[in-house]
Each structure stands twice: as structure tokens, then as C-alpha cells.
Amino acid sequence: MSPVRLIAADELRLMRRNRVAVTAFVLLVLLTLAAALTSWTHQQGIADLRERHQAAAAEAFDAQPDRHPHRVVHYGTFIYRPLSPLAAFDPGVDAFTGSSMFLEGHRQNSANFGDVRQSSLLIRFGQLTPAFVLQIVAPLLLIFLGYGAVARERERGTLRLLMLQGASRGQLVRGKLGALSLVALLVGLPAMIGFALIAGEPGALALPMIVVALGYGIYLAAWVVGIVAVSAAAQRSRDALLLLLGIWAVVAILLPRIAPDVASAAVPLRDRLQTDVSIARDLRQIGDSHNPDDPHFAEFKQSVLDRYGADRVEDLPVNYKGLLALEGERLTSELFDRYSNESYDAQARQNGIINAIGLVSPTIALRSLSMAAAGTGFVGHRRFLEQAEAYRYDVVQRLNQLQADSVSYADDTASDAGADRRKRIEAGNWQAIPDFTYQAPDGAALTARALPGLGIVLAWLVLASLMLWRATRRLGAK
Amino acid sequence: MRLWMFELRLLLRARLAVIALALLGVLTVAALGTGMAEVSRQRAQIAAIPEAQAEDIAAVADYVVRTEDAGSAAYYSFHPTWDAPSPLAFAALGMRDVSPFILRVRALGLEAQVYDGDVFNPELALPGRFDFAFVLVFLAPLFALVLFHDLTSSEREAGRLRTLEALPVGGRRLWRRRVLLRFALLFAMIAVPFAAAAALSAVPIATTFAVIGIAGAYLLFWTLLALLVARLRWSSVANAATLAAVWIVLVLVLPTLAHVVINRAVPVNQGAEIALAQREMVNRAWDIPREDTMRRFYANHPRWADSPPLTHEFHYKWYLAFHQNGDESVAPLVQKYRAGLERRAALAESLGWVLPSVGVQALLTRMADTDLEAQLAYQDRIRAYHARLREFYYGYLFRDLPFGRADFDRAPKFEEGNQ
């Protein structure tokens, strides 16, 4: 047995004898398992529910009777945000964004029925997921188990004895490091079991999973090294414990909460009312489709007449009202895109500020890495919203096109008793409209977005190692 | 008195205690600052409503006066509602960052509007806000731990314990003095900045005292816990580790576990179902005889039943009638959904009797009107206002009265329900 292994074995034996430590460790393992299990079944439940709702919504859409296409524009459709397989490990912002969205013509609706508005105040205490346990709780357990690793030897005078017996400073520290690393591995294991469960899921991506595993591994390693460093540098165990608790409270609890306030103060978001009013104002400036003398729409009408070589809209081979609907939706959607991009970009800037604060908090960096790789962060949500909007636009324009092609202008403007019947088109048309399918990002894209966070966590590991190296050199020097 | 001064001097020489107290004071002030900034941002957003609204409604009026059709006015006019922050909201922001405090509604089906949200960045909401409630519930116990974990054990470890016990003014009275002094300083770091912020925010005196009382009781709980642990006569470091372990269980682990359990025990899936069912009901009206719609509507609202019968021309009263029918048809679902939400909130609150951390958070958000209950109360105010809007437009529609420019000003205005 080399001295390093002896020292590690001895440290582990001490931990084993410490009833409080063993209890805490067992509790944490149980907690992680519970988190993995509940999170996994919860996500399964959500996924099933959303799939069911999605199927029901698609079915209801297809089952519509003969209708005027514009009725269908207002009937709209519901889409539900699908979850990535990794959401069971780190659901990210899923609970904080609505899960369902109503898509209709002329309007852009918000995503509704997110967990955060349907839950008690407890949701703001954090969510029990494997990610939460590894990010917040696991470092604390490592602190409890490791704060005294070196400081205790110094306090009791055994440090001198060890050195007199020929153990070098490096061997001693490496031994302590080895013992605590083993504990960290065991702590991470239940979460990795949960992770392996997910790996069996279809659609799980290898690359992001590797990045997540790597990220959490480096994060816990940084804590292990940092804890041993503080323990080696501190005069007394108590100082080591309090300092480590302080570091943990600032890094894992305080900074993640302060960061959003800094970000939202720096970059304001336009609220929905102001956005809606602005969009309406911009639309009025472009033109008023209700006003026969409006320059924009007069020009539009003329261009249509020129294209078909007609003198009056009544003589057009297509339904002019349908063309107007196409033009109107094009204009409003352009504005929707402009304003929502503005809002998304502002939110991205806010997240940029948070990630910058992540430089001083590995927990923030890890959180953003984890969400990026799992596709459950803001970027993933934005992706969904943008696809939803693209789909909404496509469906509405298909319907407007149907109005232009399949409903005659004469019928469309009539209001006699039988007109309502004549305006309707075949129910078969609704089935021809494609259903919404969310295009999930590929592994490479997810991984690429997780790399900055990985870099920061890695930098923390390097920094902790440097601290440990310095503390080791000073060890035993009174 | 001199003894107290000596004790204070002693305490001020303990670097750790001084740093901890100063840091807690700084954090409390910072949290009060961010809370107040957030609330003033929200107030500014609410104050900006009338200007935007006036511009918007004027444009709608320009369009509607061509036809003077009240239905058109009802269809195109969005009316603002808002939920102004209470004076105490700065101390516990609760759900105000994730649930809308401004919502515009029109006299169409409300169930398709009332659940809409506002713009917020989910990644900012995820960790929770940095407010006074957070400092009190999450951080203050850690400071209590720092101040009290080695009160007796450090004297024992320094070998002074027996001497202190034997002093004429020592023993029990000495410990009482030390505990009281530390507790008073800890409490002051929380209560004094809060009292100042509350005064600035025009919080009623009684409420201020209540919050300070809650904070005091919560700190007392942690202090007593630390003293209990100290009685086990362990080393300082074992005391600190034990207290930190208790803290993580009470503040992090149990609340998150309870959240999972509660949401499991009380599933609420009705939200999406309401939206689906209401839409189905509303759109079906185009495919059934219009008289059926009117019959159903008049059965529930006989005061309009003497309105002239429909012709084959489109009439907005039929349109608004089927929207209201749609709302009424999903009323049972809405009730179930709401009962589920209230049940969740109630379960969490009853957990507060067992878990002080949850109890304090629940009390503060309740007093500040920022919890789920406050969100539901705001929805009730929206519902009541929406009912008035409907009545207002129906008065024109079912009596075929023209709706002119002056009538826009006659529309009911939302009134704040906050005391």
C-alpha cells in the first residue's frame, strides 16, 4: 500500500465511523434517487399528457365540418411544447414557461398553463431534480465530509506525526483528495443511474449527455479540490467549515438570485400591453385595410389588378378578399416577428449578463451548461416559440390561400339567406393542413451552446487546483 | 449596564461575528433595494397604461364611428386591467414576476383570455428573486448559525468555561446576556433596515410590526435550535455541521420534496382542457342553428330576451352570445381547475405550520398579496370587470343603439381592488 492509498483509506474509515456523515450521505443518495425517480415519472407524465392533448387538438382540427376558411383561421389550433429526453434530468425553465399555446390568425398568443402559475409558493424554493441535487445539495455534503480532512490533522497535531513518519505533503493531500473524490463519485452515482435510464429513451443524444456528465464531474471535482484546499489552508476545522459554508452560500444560493435582478435592471423588457399597442400603431402607419382610400391598400389592389389584367376586383379569377387576408396576415406577422425578436434578443442579453456573473459562480455556469445541453433553457424555449410562430403563419396563410382560390368573391361578399352555405368549403381541406411537429435541435447544436459553461467550470477546477497547490506547499510550515 | 458594554466590546473583538453581522446588514439593505426597484418598475408599467390605452382606443373609435356598430366596438376594444403592488410587495415579490399584473381583455369569451401571461424571461424567474423574504428565510438562519454555534463550546475549547461558570456574575446570567446581545444584533440587522424601507413604502404600521414580529419569531426559532444543539456539549465544529444540516433539510430539501408530493396529490390538468373545450363550444355556434344559440343565451340572461329576432344578416349580438355560452359551458371545468389550485396553495400553507421556512414565506407573500391566492383574486377582479363590460355592450347591441365616439368614454373603467 502506497502512503497515498493508506491516507485515503484512513480518511474513508474515519468518515465511515462518523454516524452523522454516514447518515447525511445515505440521505443524499436517497434524495438523489427520489429526485431522479420523481423527475423521470413526472416528465413521462407531462410528455404523455402533452402528446395526448396534441393528438386531440390535431384530431379536432381535422374533424371540423365544412367551413369558411376564415372561420378556421379563428378556430385556430393548439400546440404543446414537447420535452427533450434530458428534461427528466434537468427540466430547466419548463415549469416557468407555458406548456400550451393557442395559434390563430391576426394574433400572437402567450404560452399558458405553466407549472409556476399553477403551483403553490413551494415551487420558488427550487425543484427536486437530479440537476438541483447535484448543483446545490451535493457540494454541501462534500463540505461536511471534507472540511476537516487536513485541518483536523493540523489541529490534533497528527499532521506533524505523519510527516515525521515520512509522508510528504503531496502524498498527504493526494490521499485526502482521493478519499473525498471517491465520495463525490458515489454522490454522483445515483444521478448517473437516472441519467442511464434516460439514455435508454429514444431521442436521447450522446454528445450532450457526455457534456452534461463531464460538466457535473468537473463541477464536483472543483468542489472537492477547493474543499481540500481550504481545509489545508485553514488554521482550525471550524474556520474551514465556516469559510466553506460561506463560499457555498454565496456561490450556490446568493449569486444565482442576485444575477436576475442585475440583469432585469440592466435590460428592461417591453410588456405585452405596450407591445400590442405599438404593433397596432405600426400597422396603422402601414395602411388601413378597412379604408377604401388607403394608399397602401389602393396600391396593393392596383398591383393585383395589373397582375391579372383586370379592371375590377369582381373580374379577378381569384377571391380578392382572400388576397387581402393574405396581405394583412403578412404585414401583421412581419411586425410580430420584429417585436418578438426584439424581446427575445433583450432576454438573450439578460441571460448574457447572468452568464457573465457565472464567471464568479460555478453554480450559475453549470446551470447554464446543463440547461443548454438538455435543451431546456431559454434558447430551447425560443426555438419552440419561433417554430410555433412559423407554423401559425403557415397554417393561416394556407387557409387564406384556400379562401382566395376556393371561395368566390361574389359568395364571400353576399349576405343573403343561402350565402353562408355557399361560402363553406370541403371539410377534407382541413386534413390536408400539416400537423405541428417540433424540430428538435441536434446534439452538436446543443453541445456547442454548452461549451462556454463547460469552459468556466473547467477554469474553476484549475483555480481550485492552484489554490490547493499553494496550500500544500505551505502545509506544516508554522 | 457596564457589563453589557463589556460584552458588546468582547463581541466586537470577535472578527467572525462582526463580519457576519455587517454582511447580513448589507444583504438585507440590498434585498430591500432590489425589491423596491422591482416594485417601482411595476408601478411605472402600470402608470404607462393610460397613455398607450388612449391612443389605442382612439384608433378603434376612428374605425367604429363609420358603422356605429356596438359589436365592432366590443370586438376591437381591449380594456386594461391591472393588479397594483401592495405597499408590502417589495419585501416578498412572490409570484409577481411570473404571473401578469397587467392584462387587457375584451368582451369576448373570457376563458380564452384570462390565463394569458405577460412577457418575462424564464431563466430570470427560475432561481427566484432576491428580496427581503429570501434574505430572511434562506440566509438569516445561516447567520444565526455563525453567531450561536460556538457560544459555549468555544469557551470550553479555550478552557475558560469552568472559570466563567464560577464567576459571581457568571453562569446562567452571563449566557443569557450573551445570547440576548447576539440575538438583538442579529434581529436589528434584519428589522431596522426593513422598518426603514417599510416607512419609505408607506406600509401600515401594524403590518410593519407584524412582519418584524414574524422575522423575530423565525430568528428566535433558529437561535433556540442552536442553543439546543449546544446543550449536547459537542465541539464547535460539530455544532456548526449539525446546524447546517438542519438548515438544508428545513429550507431546501423538505420544501422541494413537499412541492413534488403536493403537485402529485393534487393534479391540475384542467387548464389546457378549459381552453380546448371553450374553443370547441364557441366555434360550434357557426355550424348549429343560430336560434339554438340565442335560446340558450336568453335562458341564462332573460333581461335581453325581448331583443328583436335575428335576420339572415350577421349580427354581433349572436356572436357575443355564443362567446358567453362558451364561457358558461366550461364553468364546471373552471371551478375544478380553480379548486385544484386553491387546494395546492392550502396544502403548502398548512405545511407552513410544520416548516418554519415555508410558514414565513407563506405569511409574507400573503401579507404582501403576492401569492397564488392574490393571483386568483386578481383573476376574480378581472372576471367581475369583464361581466360589467359585457353588460355595457349588450345594452347597445340587444337594443340596437348606435355606438358613437362619445360612447367609448362611457365604457366601464377597471377599478383597483387593492385596499
Q: For the segment B89-138, what is each residue's pLDDT rounded down to a tens digit?
A: 999 999 999 999 999 999 999 999 999 999 999 999 999 889 999 999 99
- For residues B156 and A353, the model is more confident at A353
Q: Which residues on neighbouring strands pair with residue B82, listed in sequence order?
A: B102
| Cβ atoms of residues A384 and A93 within 8 Å | no
Predicted confidence at residue B170, as pLDDT, reads: 65
Average pLDDT over residues B275-300: 93
pLDDT at A188: 85
Q: Confirm or reject contact between A242 and chain B (CB < 8 A).
A: yes
pLDDT value for A477: 60
The pLDDT > 90 percentage for chain B reads 75
B347 vs A120: CB contact, 8 Å cut-off?
yes
What pLDDT is stored for residue A141 in this prediction? 87
- Residue A48's Cβ-count burial label (10 Å; 0-12, 13-18, 19+) is exposed
Identify which has the larger pLDDT, B313 or A216. Answer: A216
Question: What local confidence, expressed as pLDDT, does residue B272 receive?
Answer: 82
Residue B37 has pLDDT above 70, yes or no: yes
To the nearest whole percent, how much of chain B has pLDDT over 70?
99
Q: Please determine, for residue A161, whether its predicted confidence score (pLDDT) is greater than 70.
A: yes
For residue B83, pLDDT over 90 is answered with: yes
Q: Is the model's pLDDT at B162 over the cut of 70?
A: yes
pLDDT at A390 > cutoff 90: yes
Q: Give pLDDT tens digits for B385-414.
A: 999 999 999 999 999 999 999 999 999 999
Q: Which of residues 34-93 of B touch A (CB under 8 A)?
A: 34, 37-38, 41, 45, 48-49, 52-53, 55-56, 59, 63, 66, 78, 80
The angle, 0 to 180 degrees and rounded to 10, between the axes of the packed helices B140-148 and A237-248 is 170
Q: Which residues of B touch A148 (CB under 8 A)?
A: 237
3-state secondary structure of B352: coil
Instruction: Read off the pLDDT of each residue in A321-344 and give the average, rounded to a whole number.
Output: 94
CB-based contact (8 Å) between B224 and chain A? Answer: no
Q: What pLDDT score does B102 carry?
A: 97
- By C-alpha distance, which of B382, B390, B408 is closest to B113? B382
Position A1 scores a pLDDT of 66
From chain B, pick out residues whose CB is under 8 angstroms from the CB of A260.
121, 123-125, 127, 129-130
Q: Which of B38, B142, B361 sits opposite A249 (nearest CB)?
A: B142
Sorted by sequence, the CB contacts under 8 Å of residue B97 that are 6+ apart come out as B38, B120, B124, B125, B129
A438 touches B: beta carbon within 8 Å:
no
In a mutational test of the A interface, the residue from B56, B126, B266, B370 whose CB has the highest number of chain A CBs within 10 Å is B126
What pLDDT was estimated at residue B419?
Answer: 31
**Alpha-carbon distances of A229 from A141, A151, A359, B142, rounded to whole Å:** 16, 10, 20, 23
Report chain A residues whose CB lies below 8 A from the CB of B248: 137, 140
- Read off the pLDDT of residues B228-256 as tens digits, 9 standing for 90 and up: 998 887 788 788 888 888 898 899 889 99
pLDDT at residue B6 is higher than 80:
no
Query: Quick one: pLDDT band at residue A244, thresholds 50, 70, 90?
Result: very high
Q: Could you write out the three-class secondary structure of chain A?
A: CCHHHHHHHHHHHHHHHCHHHHHHHHHHHHHHHHHHHHHHHHHHHHHHHHHHHHHHHHHHHHCCCCECHHHHHHHCEEEECCCCHHHHCCCCCHHHCCCEEEECCCCCCCCECCHHHCCCHHHHHCCCCHHHHHHHHHHHHHHHHHCCCCHHHHHHCHHHHHHHCCCCHHHHHHHHHHHHHHHHHHHHHHHHHHHHHHHCCCCCCHHHHHHHHHHHHHHHHHHHHHHHHHHHHCCCHHHHHHHHHHHHHHHHHHHHHHHHHHHHHHCCCCCHHHHHHHHHHHHHHHCCCCCCCCHHHHHHHHHHHHHHCCCCHHHCCCCHHHHHHHHHHHHHHHHHHHHHHHHHHHHHHHHHHHHHHCCCCHHHHHHHHHHHHHCCCHHHHHHHHHHHHHHHHHHHHHHHHHHHHHCCHHHHHCCCCCHHHHHCECCHHHHCCCCCCCCCCCHHHHHHHHHHHHHHHHHHHHHHHHHHHHHHHHCCCC
- Higher pLDDT pick, B368 / B169: B368
Which chain A residue has its CA at the smallest distance from B237's CA?
A238
Q: Give the model confidence (pLDDT) of A39-57 as tens digits.
A: 888 888 888 888 888 998 9
- Opening angle at CA B208, ends B206 and B212, nearest 5: 115
| Least Cα separation, residue B2 to chain A (angstroms) | 31
Distances (CA, A) of A66 to A189, A388, A397, A420, B287: 58, 26, 18, 11, 9
Question: Given B121, B260, B365, which is nearest A269 (Cβ)?
Answer: B121
Lowest mean pLDDT, pick from A224-233, A324-333, B11-20, B202-211? B11-20
Query: CA of A231 to nearest chain B CA: how many angstroms apart?
Result: 13
Write the Ramachandran bin of A267: left for phi over 0, alpha for psi from -120 to 50, otherwise beta. beta
B362 and A347 within 8 Å at the Cβ level: the answer is no
pLDDT value of residue A354: 95
What residues in B contact A33, CB-CB < 8 Å?
none
- Whether residue B3 is predicted with pLDDT greater than 80 in this model: the reply is no
Would you call B146 and A115 a contact, using CB atoms and an 8 Å cutoff? no
Amino acid code (one letter) for B369: D
Rg (CA), chain B: 29
The answer, for A310 touching chain B at a CB cutoff of 8 Å, is no
- Per-residue pLDDT reduced to its tens digit, A276-288: 999 999 999 988 7
Distances (CA, A) of B54 to A276, B73, B349, B356, B409: 13, 14, 42, 48, 10
Is the pLDDT assigned to residue B195 strictly greater than 60?
yes
Which pLDDT does position A436 carry in this prediction? 92
Query: Mean pLDDT over residues A334-352, rounded?
Result: 96
Low-confidence winner among A207-216, B15-24, B32-41 (lowest mean pLDDT): B15-24
Instruction: Confirm or reject contact between A150 and chain B (CB < 8 A).
Output: no
pLDDT score for A368:
94
Residues B87, B92, B96: CA angle, nearest 5 degrees: 85
Q: Using a CB-CB distance cutoff of 8 angstroms, which residues of chain A are in contact with residue B64?
A: none
Tell me phi and psi for residue B63, to 5 degrees: -80, -40
In three-state secondary structure terms, B104 is strand
Neighbours of A317 (CB within 10 A): 9
* Contact: A277, B238; criterion CB under 8 Å: no
Cβ distance A381 to B122 less than 8 Å, yes or no, reads yes
Grid coordinates representing B403?
355606438
List beta partners, residue B103.
B81
**Is residue B164 pLDDT above 80, yes or no?**
no
Partner-chain contact A261 B241, CB within 8 Å: no
Query: Which positions in chain B touch A117 (Cβ < 8 Å)?
Result: 95, 98-99, 117, 372, 375
With an 8 Å Cβ cutoff, is B260 touching chain A? Answer: yes
Pairing of strands B102-105, B79-82: antiparallel
Whether B351 and A75 lie within 8 Å, measured CB to CB = no
Mean of pLDDT over chain A: 89
If you average pLDDT over residues B172-192, what whole number do you get? 91
pLDDT value of position B149: 83
In the DSSP assignment, the letter for residue B270 is H
Reported confidence tier of residue A166, pLDDT bands at 50, 70, 90: confident
> Using only C-alpha atoms, what is the Rg of chain A?
31
Q: pLDDT tier at A347 (50, 70, 90 boundaries)?
A: very high
CA distance A113 to chain B (A): 6
Crossing angle between the packed helical segments A169-199 and A443-474, to the nearest 10 degrees: 160
All three cell numbers of A145, joined, read 465530509
Decide if pLDDT at A437 tops 60. yes
Which residues in chain B are contacts of A99 at CB distance < 8 A?
Answer: 272
Least confident of A30-34, A421-425, B46-50: A30-34
Give the residue-averaged pLDDT of A372-391. 94
More confident residue, A195 or A140: A140
Q: Specify the pTM.
A: 0.92
CA-nearest of A80, A85, A87 to A114 is A80
Is A274 in contact with B52 (Cβ distance < 8 A)? yes
Mutation target among A30, A125, A255 for the B interface, most CBs of B within 10 A:
A125
Closest to A105 measured CA to CA, from A70, A78, A67, A57: A70
Which of the four pLDDT bands, split at 50, 70 and 90, describes residue B418?
very low
Q: How many CA atoms lie within 13 A of A32 on its CB side?
A: 25
Residue to mutate among A120, A274, A371, with most B CBs inside 10 A, is A120
Confidence of residue A199 (pLDDT cuts 50, 70, 90): low
Instruction: State the smallest CA–CA distance between residue B169 and chain A in angstroms.
Output: 29
% of residues, chain A, pLDDT over 70:
97
Amino acid at A438: Y
Residues 123-142 of B with CB under 8 A from A: 123-130, 134, 138-139, 142
Using one digit for the tens of pLDDT, what is the confidence trace for B324-352? 999 999 999 999 999 999 999 999 999 99
